[in-house]
Structure 1
């Protein structure tokens, strides 16, 4: 472009010279001004062209990046579609399995509830039978009640033993015999005999060294009478001594200590069926 302009300028100059036309200063300056303007236009065009080429290069790079990103997104979309299909298939089988397990658990829960209902019903019936059988001993310190699904027959020590003794007296034997008659009719009942004392220290009782000894030996005396004399099955029996550590009342008064010195016969239904059901 610049060469063309110079050429035109030369032609004009030659033409003017050949025609012997002398350029005035004004015309000469006008031509120089036009040349400068053309030079500036040429430079601006070059700069604009370079800027456009840079923009085109940047757009090409962006297009390449976008194409790559679009390809990645398409791959991810395809993978998500496959994962969704697998999840949908697996979810259906999982839902079916969960539904089946839930039905089984609901059935087991109903069976457990039924067993517990029967247990509570049997426990209440046993309590009523014992209360009727031992009615004559209630004024002598015998009580029957239900705690935590078990029947507790509580006998104060004065009903069973002379003071400080582990030998059952005649009134105690009578009460235990009547209790045994009911227990022998209830073979599904487990029997635990617990000995309890007050907190006063043992003195001058020979081989009985402390309240632990006294509570255990009294419990085993009751177990031996029920098994050896009244013929309750030994396999159903356990004997434990609790000493002074599970009082019913305060040991600060004579009445409280009297209540704490007791034998508790704890009767609980055999729950083998329930345990087997829970372990399934």
Structure 2
């Protein structure tokens, strides 16, 4: 090959890589726009009758976070969903059902006050049981596909505030619903473009 042919081949390859980078940037922009729209939709349906302390919605790059104060969902030390909680979860489930391309992780958080009951050894148990209680309501009451649901317990180890005050402990007791893109679908999209 001549030097001229090598340069042309290199420029062609660079052009293809540039097109691929632009494709990825558009995909990321689209995903981010969809997350912002999803966050806005959630704020509009969940803010009715609730304060910012009760429910917080945050959009951070690839995920949407819905943090729900435990006082809306559970009685102290319990993992049994309250009737008020089902009203909140129904609104969340309606939005989730309309977004089948998302996975849903439910994380339970506690304060650092020790708990020990006949069915719970510690705050790890409480956080996981609360998470699975929310998962079961989403699946059984609102027909969210179980293959989309992930239960996680965080216990006391990721506090929002200090556990030294009553207010801080109250903020730390929460359930967070994380709406995430199915990464396998995103990677399949990228792979199909490479080929």
TM-score normalised according to structure 1 size:
0.64
Gaps of 5+ in 1: 1-88
Indicate whether 1:182 and 2:95 are aligned.
yes
**2 CA distance for matches of 1:148 and 1:246?**
20
Indicate whether 1:267 and 2:186 are aligned.
no
In the alignment, which residue of structure 1 is the partner of 2:168? 256
Equivalenced residues, count: 191
**1 CA distance for matches of 2:81 and 2:188?**
39
Residue 135 to residue 184, structure 1, CA distance change in 2 (3 Å): same
How much has 1:183 moved relative to structure 2? 1.1
Q: Which of 155, 173, 189 is equivalent to 2:86?
A: 173
Partner of 2:138: helix, strand, or coil? helix
**1 CA distance for matches of 2:110 and 2:174?**
7
Q: Which of 63, 69, 90 is equivalent to 1:156?
A: 69
Computing the radius of gyration over CA atoms, which structure comes out larger, 1 or 2? 1
Bigger strand fraction: 2
TM-score normalised according to structure 2 size:
0.91
In the alignment, which residue of structure 1 is the partner of 2:150? 238
Output the aligned Cα RMSD. 1.7
Partner of 2:112: helix, strand, or coil? coil
Q: Deviation above 4 Å: which 4+ runs of structure 1? A: none
In the alignment, which residue of structure 2 is the partner of 1:136? 48
**2 CA distance for matches of 1:114 and 1:272?**
18
**1 CA distance for matches of 2:18 and 2:189?**
13
Contact 1:142 1:154 in 2 (8 A): yes
Bigger helix fraction: 1
Residue 95 to residue 277, structure 1, CA distance change in 2 (3 Å): farther
Indicate whether 1:113 and 2:25 are aligned.
yes
